[in-house]
């Protein structure tokens, strides 16, 4: 990289804003999937939207590809640099700019960690309901770019549903201020949607206005065991109809995954003993301080009487609520511990989840010999995470495992990515979940908004011109 090129970037960003040489530590090319092969030559750390605009305009002029980084917790290798790219890290753009408690809105810079936003809302007796295991490290910009889902989609929706407005910088440095602050605003195209879920390929998100909600006054969590999938479905229907919108999470863990969590995640304790087929975390958040706990307990009692569950414990304190959620959050860590293995984040109709373990184990084992499967996730959203691991002393047959799993997902009309995005890891399979016309429209948008292909090239689509997948 030319010295005068870096000098110009230093002029824009100042000394703190440009890292090169030894200062570019492994944290800038490591994500939960491991350390990438490419150590970037430079990391740009803008402190304002104006600086982002200037550096992108400069990179655009020089046709210099960039990759955008938030907290680097993404699970599809989208934020790791590839050859020839420099990093733009939003880590210095981490301020909460405004909270409007009456209207329930918060405006933040894109590098702000999710947990900081949650805590800011909490301090005003409000809630920013997006929640996921990586809350302490992931950024609002990364949440928006991947349209993150998480644990409370059943009640509040995905990041898209929590976003009022966005400010973004386009590939040529143009700042698009679409920081709408209204719930209702039908004035032409809803431009923020171009950036939400597009994984940094259409623009770099710099600020966002997000929705806040009244903080629920009660929170009760149960951890249950069930012996059949039909019983789990009956339980979900029962809890949904009894609790309505107060049902805030319904998370299911398959037996093998529960075993792995208890074995591999430090500090978690089994809320209910091993020995069942499914484990379910159910959460209610309501507003009736006097009656909610009793209502929840009555619903669970009915579920026990009707054999939907065979065992259950109910939280009696905040510490127990946290302990139950630690088991659920431990799923990501237990699955990560299976590496080398192949991870999936799929959407399915709930009916197809009944046979997932049997069908996939049969198909994978007939092709590959002994394979272990770990399954669990946001059942009520139709979203499961799974990890497949071929055992034995051999390299992981990644492509074969992916082909077999995604072929089945295609057969049952599922989606190859429910909430993690496509990144670089899943792009070869994108055509399995999107039609040719949808892919062509995506290509048209990318070409129109980033004709030089400098923004996150190769994420979602292959970098080759006119080639998707």
Ligand X SMILES: Cc1cc2nc3c(=O)[nH]c(=O)nc-3n(C[C@H](O)[C@H](O)[C@H](O)COP(=O)(O)OP(=O)(O)OC[C@H]3O[C@@H](n4cnc5c(N)ncnc54)[C@H](O)[C@@H]3O)c2cc1C
Return residues touching ligand X (CB under 6 A). Answer: 32, 67-75, 78-79, 90, 110, 132-134, 138-139, 141-143, 145-146, 148-150, 199-200, 204-205, 332, 419-420, 423, 456, 459
Q: What's the closest the beta carbon of residue 169 comes to ligand X, in angstroms?
A: 9
Q: Measure Cα distances from 196 to 256, 259, 442 in Å.
A: 34, 36, 14
- Tell me if 116 sits within 8 A of 94, measured CB to CB: yes
Closer residue to ligand X, CB minimum distance, 296 or 374: 374
Q: Which residue is nearest to ligand X (CB)?
A: 142
Q: What's the closest the beta carbon of residue 75 comes to ligand X, in angstroms?
A: 5
Closer residue to ligand X, CB minimum distance, 49 or 293: 49
Closer residue to ligand X, CB minimum distance, 335 or 390: 335
Closer residue to ligand X, CB minimum distance, 141 or 165: 141
Cα gap 350→366, rounded to integer Å? 25
Q: What's the closest the beta carbon of residue 207 comes to ligand X, in angstroms?
A: 9
Q: What's the closest the beta carbon of residue 399 comes to ligand X, in angstroms?
A: 22
Closer residue to ligand X, CB minimum distance, 371 or 430: 430
Q: What's the closest the beta carbon of residue 402 comes to ligand X, in angstroms?
A: 19
Closer residue to ligand X, CB minimum distance, 56 or 308: 56
Q: What's the closest the beta carbon of residue 125 comes to ligand X, in angstroms?
A: 25
Q: What's the closest the beta carbon of residue 114 comes to ligand X, in angstroms?
A: 8
Closer residue to ligand X, CB minimum distance, 170 or 332: 332
Q: What's the closest the beta carbon of residue 40 comes to ligand X, in angstroms?
A: 13
The token pair at 407 is 């072929």
Q: What's the closest the beta carbon of residue 102 comes to ligand X, in angstroms?
A: 28
If one counts every other C-beta atom within 10 angstroms of the C-beta of residue 245, the result is 11
Omega within 30 of 0 (cis) for the link into 364: no
Closer residue to ligand X, CB minimum distance, 81 or 397: 81
Closer residue to ligand X, CB minimum distance, 58 or 361: 58
- Tell me if 69 sits within 8 A of 90, measured CB to CB: yes
Closer residue to ligand X, CB minimum distance, 5 or 333: 333
Cα gap 203→213, rounded to integer Å? 28
Cα gap 373→261, rounded to integer Å? 13
Give the list of residues 6+ apart from residue 22 with CB closer than 8 angstroms, or none: none
Tell which residue, 215, 207, 67, has the closest CA to residue 128: 215
Q: What's the closest the beta carbon of residue 145 comes to ligand X, in angstroms?
A: 3
- Tell me if 446 sits within 8 A of 202, measured CB to CB: yes
Closer residue to ligand X, CB minimum distance, 400 or 415: 415
Cα gap 167→41, rounded to integer Å? 28
Q: What's the closest the beta carbon of residue 310 comes to ligand X, in angstroms?
A: 27
């Amino acid at each position: 990289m030319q010295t005068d090129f870096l000098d110009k970037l230093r002029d824009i960003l100042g000394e703190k804003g440009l890292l090169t040489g030894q200062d570019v530590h492994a944290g800038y090319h490591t994500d939960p999937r491991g350390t990438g092969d490419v150590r970037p030559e430079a990391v740009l750390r803008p402190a304002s939207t104006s600086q982002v605009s200037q550096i992108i305009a400069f990179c655009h002029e020089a046709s210099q590809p960039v990759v955008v980084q938030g907290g680097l917790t993404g699970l599809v290798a989208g934020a790791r640099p590839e050859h020839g790219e420099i990093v733009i890290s939003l880590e210095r753009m981490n301020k909460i700019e405004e909270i409007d408690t009456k209207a329930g809105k918060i405006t933040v810079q894109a590098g702000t960690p999710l947990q900081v936003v949650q805590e800011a809302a909490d301090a005003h007796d409000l809630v920013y309901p997006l929640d996921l295991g990586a809350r302490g490290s992931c950024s609002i910009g990364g949440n928006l770019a991947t349209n993150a889902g998480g644990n409370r989609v059943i009640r509040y929706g995905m990041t898209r549903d929590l976003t009022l407005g966005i400010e973004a910088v386009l590939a040529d440095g143009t700042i698009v201020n679409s920081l709408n602050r209204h719930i209702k605003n039908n004035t032409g195209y809803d431009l923020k949607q171009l950036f939400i879920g597009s994984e940094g390929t259409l623009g770099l998100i710099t600020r966002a206005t997000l929705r806040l909600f009244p903080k629920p006054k009660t929170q009760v969590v149960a951890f249950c065991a069930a012996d059949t999938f039909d019983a789990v479905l009956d339980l979900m229907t029962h809890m949904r109809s009894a609790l309505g919108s107060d049902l805030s999470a319904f998370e299911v863990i398959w037996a093998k995954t529960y075993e792995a969590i208890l074995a591999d995640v430090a500090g978690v304790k089994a809320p209910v003993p091993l020995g069942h087929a499914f484990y379910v975390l159910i959460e209610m958040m309501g507003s009736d301080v006097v009656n909610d706990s009793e209502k929840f307990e009555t619903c669970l009692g009915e579920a026990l009487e009707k054999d939907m569950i065979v065992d259950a414990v109910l939280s009696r304190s905040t510490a127990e609520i946290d302990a139950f959620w630690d088991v659920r959050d431990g799923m990501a860590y237990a699955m990560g511990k299976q590496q080398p293995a192949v991870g999936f984040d799929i959407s399915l109709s709930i009916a197809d989840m009944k046979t997932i373990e049997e069908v996939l184990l049969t198909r994978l084992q007939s092709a590959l010999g002994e394979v272990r499967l770990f399954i669990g996730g946001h059942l009520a959203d139709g979203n499961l995470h799974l990890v497949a691991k071929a055992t034995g002393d051999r390299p992981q047959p990644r492509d074969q495992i992916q082909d077999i799993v995604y072929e089945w997902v295609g057969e049952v009309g599922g989606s190859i990515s429910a909430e993690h995005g496509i990144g670089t890891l899943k792009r070869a399979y994108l055509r399995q979940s999107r039609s040719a016309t949808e892919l062509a429209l995506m290509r048209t948008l990318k070409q129109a908004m980033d004709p030089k292909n400098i923004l996150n090239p190769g994420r979602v689509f292959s970098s080759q011109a006119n080639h998707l997948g």
